[in-house]
């Protein structure tokens, strides 16, 4: 690596060094309390997957270039040069961490591994060594935001075709629109995922609840966040923020996508609208009697997988359980304390990387598969697209024999007219 | 010999205390003045008493208790001893009424506190030598433990060594004179301290303590100050 590249990368590193990040880099005592926290280590037993080992890979570079010690006495902290080998280590570390932050619950100081890994991810982008597909997907999303007029018509046509399926789930009066779009002054803007499976059931529930809603032109998923690029993350988010402001909505509701929800909740904290997850909105409808669910639709024991970004990192624990109480009387908790729930093993962009990561995803989530098996359920519910894909893969791989379902679809299927 | 003793007991002490105070303050100011994290780093579920929770997490390490109970016992004993030893050393400057709730001479437990402290350090060292903590550790982690061990073993056993001389030499009064001299910038080690048979123990104790103080601001020991703000971030 030439000096110029190194300097550019160190500049990126420097930009990440706010107070919180500096606490995290200065403090780890390498006590090993976090050892068993990571599902990857718990499943595969390799020291390189212990969260403290992961941050030490970033920290060694920090010690080399951002601490006086790195010049005077580098060996005391095993400070390391930033070079090609270091980049390889950073890649391995960052793209085997799902950013689930389970280790943060274990650490006596609360060191945030996901935060530290964001340095690794940013350095990889700077060195053009990140998984290209993620950047490509992020750029496509950004492009879509810039040229809304070009695809608007075709998108609306596509959505129109879904309306008959929505009506099948919830009958409507003649003249009512099953999937409203571009409605100025709507109460709620729903940001879905690309795909009918995300739009149809939710639309039916909104209509059943008599919600004054509108569908966003953009998909919720934020590939910028997966690849750890703050600029792209913000640009992707801005598309939705601008739409919400243009339509003057009171609430932005994010579909079943953990990362999209957390990013929106965090980065849109001081916007003129509130941010909710679809699970919170559904629980609200049930509570206020706006929708009624038929509990007889579901047979057999049910468990719920808390998506890390929605539960431990987003604060939505009670709502899915409240909804499930209206759908089944055989609900079983997966983890005695939901904040300790194992990650499904698919976060941090790993599922988005598809087949390339499949083998690792299966091996690294053995503990998750065991956890599911122990519950003895037949239906496994979750509220995140990523988790859903990963749990389905686990179901096949470990032959768990469960039916993996989205909470939203279950609500839609149980609607009582 | 006197020159060496004077160097360690006076000039090196001044130097290391200065590095410790200035280094720690400057580093903390620098860290705290960095831009704040714009987004929340909270872990849910949220509890109402955030500051109280953060203080609880910082001083009682509930996560350690839950996941590594044996280590937790040693951690608590280690930190409690550390606190008591610091208080004990303050009493070598002068008597504090507030510490005299239970009347005592000097709060150093006749060296036993230091011994317990050493046992916890040996445990930490031993733990570090075993996988997987061994793979996580870097030299600094060992150096700090070894330094603390040397400081404590020589410091605590001075009381025992004093018994070789029938408790006549180097009494609390001598320490007070020595430390007062340091405080009032009269660089002079009292005669009694220099000639005692076990003076070398004091010199070794102070020497390693000096090294520790010099290293402190640049080491992971800064967690003493950073733990609370970090735990607060986690609590939201
Ligand atoms: S628990 Fe925290 S301080 Fe201890 S090794 Fe893990 S990250 Fe470091
Ligand atoms: S954030 Fe999750 S995946 Fe990453 S090191 Fe921590 S526990 Fe492991």
Q: CB of A98 closer than 6 A to ligand 2?
A: yes
Please, where are the H alpha helices in A127-257? 132-146, 148-169, 196-208, 223-227, 230-246
Number of Cβ within a 10 Å radius of residue B48: 6
Q: Which domains does chain B have, with CATH numbers?
A: 2-38+69-219 (1.20.950.20)
pLDDT above 90 covers a percentage of chain B that reads 63
The reply to whether residue B229 touches residue A23, judged by beta carbons under 8 angstroms, is yes
Which pLDDT value is given to residue B157? Answer: 85
Question: What are the Cα distances from residue A63, in Å, to A72, B128, B220?
Answer: 11, 21, 11
Looking at residue B61, what DSSP letter applies? -
Which pLDDT value is given to residue B231? Answer: 97
Contact assessment for residue A256 and residue A385, using Cβ atoms and an 8 Å cutoff: yes
A87-130 confidence digits (pLDDT tens)? 999 999 999 999 999 999 999 999 999 999 999 999 999 999 99
B10-47 confidence digits (pLDDT tens)? 999 999 999 999 999 999 999 999 999 989 999 999 88
Residue B109 pLDDT level (bands cut at 50, 70, 90): low
Quick one: how far is CA A89 from the chain centroid? 24
Distance in Å, alpha carbon of B215 to nearest chain A alpha carbon: 10
Give mean pLDDT, residues B82-107. Answer: 79
Nearest CA to ligand 1 atom 4: A31
A2-43 confidence digits (pLDDT tens)? 999 999 999 999 999 999 999 999 999 999 999 999 999 999
Q: Which uninterrupted H or E stretch holds A379?
A: strand A379-382
Q: Chain B residues with CB inside 8 Å of A107's CB?
A: 63
A340 touches chain B (CB under 8 A): no
Q: Could you give the 3-state DSSP secondary structure of residue B22?
A: helix
Which pLDDT value is given to residue B107? Answer: 64
Q: Determine the residue of A24, A35, A48, A103 to mutate for testing ligand 2's pocket, defined as the one with the most ligand atoms within 8 A of the Cβ atom.
A: A103
What is the CATH classification number for the domain harbouring A396?
3.40.50
Q: CB of A198 closer than 6 A to ligand 2?
A: no
Same-domain status, A392 and A268: no
A–B: how many Cβ contacts below 8 A?
140
Q: Please give the full DSSP string across B161-188, using - where no structure is assigned.
A: HHGGGTT-SS-HHHHHHHHHHHHTT---
Which pLDDT value is given to residue A25? Answer: 97
Same-domain status, A316 and A367: yes
Which pLDDT value is given to residue B191? Answer: 81
Of A23, A107, A112, which is closest to B31 when you measure between CB atoms?
A: A23
Same-domain status, A58 and A88: yes
What is the CATH classification number for the domain harbouring A107?
1.10.1060
Q: Which of A109, A277, A310 best probes binding to B when mutated, by most B CB atoms within 10 angstroms?
A: A109
**Boundary-marking domain end, from A130, A165, A180:** A130
C-alpha A245 – ligand 2 centre gap (Å): 35
A212-228 confidence digits (pLDDT tens)? 999 999 999 899 888 88
B136 touches chain A (CB under 8 A): yes
Atom of ligand 1 nearest to the CA of B136: 5
Same-domain status, A116 and A138: no
Which pLDDT value is given to residue B167? Answer: 60
Give mean pLDDT, residues A247-268. Answer: 93
Residue B166 pLDDT level (bands cut at 50, 70, 90): low
Same-domain status, A13 and A67: yes
**Boundary-marking domain end, from A130, A158, A174:** A130
Same-domain status, A24 and A111: yes
Q: Which uninterrupted H or E stretch holds B59?
A: helix B50-60
Same-domain status, A173 and A273: yes
Q: CB of A37 closer than 6 A to ligand 2?
A: yes
Task: For tokens 């180097």, name the residue.
Answer: B170
pLDDT over threshold 90, residue B170: no
Q: CB of A111 closer than 6 A to ligand 2?
A: no
pLDDT over threshold 90, residue A259: yes
A151-203 confidence digits (pLDDT tens)? 888 889 999 999 999 988 888 887 788 999 999 999 999 999 988 889 999 99
Mean pLDDT of chain B: 90
The reply to whether residue B43 touches residue A28, judged by beta carbons under 8 angstroms, is no
pLDDT above 90 covers a percentage of chain A that reads 82
Q: Give me the residues paired with residue A215 across strands.
A: A181, A190
What does pTM read for this prediction? 0.93
Same-domain status, A246 and A355: no
Q: Which of B230, B234, B236 best probes binding to A when mutated, by most A CB atoms within 10 angstroms?
A: B230
Of A18, A50, A106, which is closest to B63 when you measure between CB atoms?
A: A106
B73 touches chain A (CB under 8 A): no
Same-domain status, A150 and A282: yes
Q: Which uninterrupted H or E stretch holds A180?
A: none
pLDDT over threshold 90, residue B117: yes
The domain total for chain A is 3
Q: Which distant-in-sequence residues (6+ apart) come within 8 Å of A203 by Cβ? A: A162, A166, A178, A179, A190, A215
Question: What are the Cα distances from residue A164, in Å, to A183, A191, A231, A321, A364?
Answer: 20, 20, 39, 31, 41
Q: Which domain holds residue A44?
A: 3-130
Same-domain status, A317 and A394: yes
**Boundary-marking domain end, from A288, A315, A348:** A288
pLDDT over threshold 90, residue A136: no
Quick one: how far is CA B131 from the chain centroid? 27
Same-domain status, A75 and A143: no
Same-domain status, A363 and A276: no
């Amino acid at each position: 690596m030439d000096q110029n590249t190194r300097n550019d990368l160190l500049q990126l590193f420097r930009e990440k060094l706010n107070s919180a990040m500096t606490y995290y880099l200065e403090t780890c005592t390498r006590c090993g309390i976090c050892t068993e926290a990571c599902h990857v280590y718990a499943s595969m037993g390799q020291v390189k997957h212990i969260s403290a080992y992961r941050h030490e890979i970033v920290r060694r570079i920090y010690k080399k270039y951002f601490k006086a010690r790195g010049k005077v006495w580098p060996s005391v902290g095993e400070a390391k040069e930033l070079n090609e080998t270091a980049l390889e280590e950073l890649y391995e570390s960052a793209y085997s961490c799902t950013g689930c932050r389970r280790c943060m619950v274990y650490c006596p100081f609360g060191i945030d591994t996901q935060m530290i890994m964001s340095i690794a991810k940013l350095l990889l982008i700077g060195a053009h060594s990140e998984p290209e597909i993620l950047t490509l997907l992020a750029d496509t999303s950004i492009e879509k935001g810039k040229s809304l007029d070009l695809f608007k018509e075709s998108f609306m046509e596509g959505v129109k075709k879904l309306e008959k399926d929505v009506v099948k789930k919830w009958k409507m009066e003649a003249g009512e629109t099953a999937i409203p779009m571009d409605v100025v002054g709507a109460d709620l803007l729903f940001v879905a995922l690309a795909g009918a499976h995300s739009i149809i059931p939710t639309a039916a529930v909104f209509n059943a609840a008599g919600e004054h809603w509108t569908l966003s032109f953009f998909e919720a998923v934020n590939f910028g966040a997966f690849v750890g690029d703050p600029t792209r993350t913000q640009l992707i988010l801005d598309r939705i923020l601008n739409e919400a402001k243009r339509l003057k909505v009171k609430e932005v509701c994010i579909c079943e996508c953990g990362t999209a929800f957390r990013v929106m909740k965090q980065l849109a904290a001081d916007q003129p609208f509130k941010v909710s997850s679809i699970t919170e909105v559904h629980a609200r409808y049930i509570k206020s009697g706006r929708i009624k669910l038929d509990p007889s639709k579901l047979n057999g024991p049910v468990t719920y997988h808390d998506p890390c970004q929605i539960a431990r990192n987003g604060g939505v624990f009670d709502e899915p359980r409240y909804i499930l109480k209206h759908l089944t009387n055989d609900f079983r908790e997966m983890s005695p304390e939901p904040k300790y729930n194992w990650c499904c093993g698919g976060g941090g962009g790993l599922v988005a990387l598809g087949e390339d990561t499949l083998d690792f995803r299966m091996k690294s989530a053995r503990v998750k598969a065991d956890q599911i098996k122990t519950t003895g359920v037949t239906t496994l519910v979750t509220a995140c697209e990523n988790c859903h894909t990963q749990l389905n893969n686990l179901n096949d791989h470990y032959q768990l024999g469960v039916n993996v379902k989205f909470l939203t679809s279950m609500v839609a299927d149980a609607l009582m007219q | 010999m006197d020159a060496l003793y004077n160097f360690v007991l006076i000039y090196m002490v001044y130097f290391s205390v200065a590095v410790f105070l200035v280094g720690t303050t400057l580093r903390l100011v620098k860290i705290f003045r960095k831009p704040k994290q714009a987004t929340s780093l909270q872990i849910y579920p949220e509890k109402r008493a955030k500051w109280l929770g953060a203080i609880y997490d910082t001083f009682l390490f509930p996560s350690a208790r839950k996941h590594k109970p044996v280590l937790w016992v040693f951690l608590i004993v280690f930190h409690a001893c550390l606190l008591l030893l610091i208080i004990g050393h303050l009493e070598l400057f002068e008597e504090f009424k507030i510490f005299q709730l239970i009347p005592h001479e000097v709060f150093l437990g006749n060296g036993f506190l230091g011994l317990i402290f050493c046992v916890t350090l040996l445990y930490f060292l031993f733990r570090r030598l075993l996988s997987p903590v061994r793979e996580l550790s870097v030299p600094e982690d060992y150096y700090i433990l070894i330094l603390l061990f040397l400081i404590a073993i020589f410091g605590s056993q001075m009381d025992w060594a004093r018994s070789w001389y029938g408790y006549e030499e180097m009494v609390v009064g001598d320490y007070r004179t020595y430390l007062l001299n340091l405080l009032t910038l009269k660089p002079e080690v009292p005669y009694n301290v220099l000639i005692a048979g076990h003076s070398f123990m004091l010199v070794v104790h102070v020497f390693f303590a000096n090294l520790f103080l010099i290293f402190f601001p640049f080491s992971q020991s800064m967690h003493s100050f950073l733990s609370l703000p970090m735990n607060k971030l986690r609590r939201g």
